[in-house]
A and B are shown apart, each in its own frame.
Chain A
């Protein structure tokens, strides 16, 4: 998830280096033990300029 940098005041960009610097990335991993069937995944990024995701099934 890329938070971008163009949409924040300079004093907040400067102070929150980890959160708002250009090309800052977060990688979150969620694991779910679930029965076989149809599942719906909702991804709702916030203050994010770009994001990618992968879905891994099984071990």
Chain B
């Protein structure tokens, strides 16, 4: 019986969700697919979960990890989708000598409620933008800006960027304080 106790304990923890499968895979990730030159790597995946983070209440239903090896370096692109948003999050990394560096991101997996809130902030406070977008013929994009980027313009926290690309207008928005942090209007920041 004694030999079964550790097995039963592990099974209980596994079933109860205390131990996730994979490499410390967070509970907000439901399916992970690896493709490319590296079929799967637990160490890299553990490092990825330290930097890949969904927006607030979002959970990633599918995460695709695409890898491409060039010499000693590996380029990694993580594409994450959620049923809570029609848009995806994309992260780019470079991995070499055990170090993972994020080289770029495009994060649009944002719940509809927060997209609407960001637009409401812009419309209610951005008179300059309201005038500019009368000429726009396209829907605005709403992108998440990570704290490491935000701190260069405001403070290190998650912000949303609402942009009408065709008329060169954008607002950096703090949905928590319901404010426009900064406006970009054809290269003239205000």
Contact = CB atoms under 8 A, between A and B. Distances in A.
Contact of A15 (B105, B165, B170, B187): B105
Given A11-B145, A11-B153, A17 B172 contact: no
Mostly helix, strand, loop or mixed at chain B's interface? strand
B104 A15 contact: yes
Interface string A6-21: 1111111011111100
Contacts of B2: none
Counting chain B CB atoms within 10 Å of each CB, which of A11, A14, A47 scores highest? A11
Given A6-B187, A18-B92, A12 B103 contact: no
A12 B104 contact: no
Contacts of B146: 15
A8 B141 CA distance: 12
Contacts of B163: 8-9, 12
B149 A14 contact: yes
Contacts of A6: 187
Contact of B172 (A9, A16, A18, A19): A9
A7 B165 contact: yes
Contact of B104 (A7, A9, A18): A18
Interface of B: 92, 103-106, 143, 145-146, 149-150, 152-153, 159, 161, 163, 165, 168, 170, 172, 182, 184, 187, 189
Interface of A: 6-12, 14-19, 47
